[in-house]
Structure 1
Amino acid sequence: MDGIISWIDYISGRPDEILETTWDHAKITLIVVVSATVFSVLLGLFVQSRPTLRALSLSLAGIFLTIPSLALFAIFIPIVGIGNEPAIYALFLYAILPILRNTVTGLDSVPSAVVESAKGMGMNTTRQLLQIRIPLAWPVIMAGVRISSLITVGIAAIAVLVGGDGLGTYIQGGLTRLGLPNSLESVWTGTVFTVLLGLVLDLVLATFQRFTTTKGQRL
Structure 2
Amino acid sequence: MFWTYVTDRWDQIWFASWQHLWLVVQCLVLALVITLVIAFAVYRVPWARALANGVSAIGLTIPSFALIGLLIAPFGFGVLPSVIVVTFFATLPVLRNAVVGLGQVDPQIVEAARGVGMSRTRVMLRIELPLAWPVILAGLRVSAQMVMGIAAVTAYALGPGLGGFIFSGLSRLGGANSLNSVVVGVVGVVLLAFVLDLLLVGLGRLTVSRGIRVRS
TM-score (norm 2): 0.92
The letter of the residue matching 1:51 is P
* Aligned 8 A contact 2:44 2:103 in 1: no
1:115 paired residue among 110, 116, 121: 110
Alignment of 1:177-196 (within 5 A): 177-196=172-191
In structure 1, runs of 5+ residues without a counterpart are: 1-5
Aligned residue in 2 for 1:3: none
The letter of the residue matching 1:55 is A
Residues 1:164 and 2:159 are matched in the alignment: yes
Per-residue deviation, 1:49: 0.4
Please list the CA deviations of residues 85-129 of structure 1 after superposition, one character each: whole Å capped at 9, or x if unmatched: 112112221111111111111112222333343344343322322
In 2, Cα distance between equivalents of 1:67 and 1:120: 45
When structure 1 is superposed on structure 2, of 14-23 and 169-178 the one drifting more is 169-178
The letter of the residue matching 1:31 is Q
When structure 1 is superposed on structure 2, of 149-158 and 124-133 the one drifting more is 124-133
Per-residue deviation, 1:142: 0.9
In 2, Cα distance between equivalents of 1:96 and 1:63: 12
- For residue 60 of structure 2, give the secondary structure of its aligned residue in structure 1: helix
* Aligned 8 A contact 1:74 1:86 in 2: no
The letter of the residue matching 1:56 is L
Aligned residue in 2 for 1:143: 138
The letter of the residue matching 2:68 is F
When structure 1 is superposed on structure 2, of 186-195 and 205-214 the one drifting more is 205-214
Aligned residue in 2 for 1:210: 205
- For residue 218 of structure 1, give the secondary structure of its aligned residue in structure 2: helix
Alignment of 1:1-219 (within 5 A): 6-218=1-213
Paired positions, count: 214
In 1, Cα distance between equivalents of 2:118 and 2:84: 39
* Aligned 8 A contact 2:158 2:164 in 1: no
In 1, Cα distance between equivalents of 2:83 and 2:118: 40
RMSD of the alignment, in Å?
1.6
Please list the CA deviations of residues 20-72 of structure 1 after superposition, one character each: whole Å capped at 9, or x if unmatched: 01111122212211111100111101100011222222222322221111111
When structure 1 is superposed on structure 2, of 112-121 and 134-143 the one drifting more is 112-121
Per-residue deviation, 1:171: 1.0
In 1, Cα distance between equivalents of 2:59 and 2:123: 32
The letter of the residue matching 1:17 is Q
